Amino acid sequence: MAWLVAGLGNPGARYARTRHNLGRLVVESMAEEAGERLRKVRFLPIERAEVAIGDERVTLAISTGYMNESGPSYASLAKKLEVDVDRVVAVHDELDVAKGTLRLKTGGSTAGHNGLRSLERALRSREFHRIRIGIGRPPGRQDPADFVLAQTGTREQEDLLASAAHAADAVRALILDGVSVAKERYNNTGPGG
């Protein structure tokens, strides 16, 4: 049985260094680490790379469309590859998780995350896995949308890269060891934790 890891984010240079692109960053780095290149999927607004994690076949995917409308792309790819909903992993930023920490969960609410909402609608199920990468709440009265889409400076970008590497390890643990072990090992931890 195959797995699908969906890195939620937005395409293009304008969004590349934003907090909202953490999921996409995780998938891109996992593909690069495996020596694979993300390639365009015919007839779908999506790029994918095939990798092995242990004995498991894993498709790493990023949408070439905007996150809020990406659910149908991922759902179509899952259907095409015959990946069951319980083997779909959405990796994404999360305002309601402390900056630099992770939270793994299966199912549940989208907590207002429009990328998750789109994916849930398209899959017609909430029962997919989520790797939630904490970015914390915006400072002061800053609009959350402005906060997640703001370009980050060099120092914060380094922190985001470390969080992405930590999240990639959590994805591998989820696939290899199961959700319970991965939760125990990674929930509420950050890089080096």
Catalogue the active-site residues.
20
Those residues whose C-beta lies under 8 Å from the C-beta of residue 126, and which sit 6 or more positions away, are 107, 108, 109, 120
| Long-range contacts of the stretch 104-113 (C-beta < 8 A, 24+) | 104/129, 104/130, 104/131, 104/132, 104/170, 104/174, 104/179, 104/182, 104/183, 104/186, 104/187, 105/129, 105/130, 105/132, 105/183, 106/130, 106/179
Q: Give the pair of three-digit tokens for residue 3.
A: 């797995």
Q: Is 117 helix (H, G, I), strand (E, B) or coil?
A: helix
The answer to whether the beta carbons of residues 181 and 64 sit under 8 Å apart is no
The number of residues in the chain equals: 193
H-run or E-run covering 176: helix 154-177
Cα separation, 114 vs 65, in Å, equals 13
Q: Give the pair of three-digit tokens for residue 17.
A: 């260094």
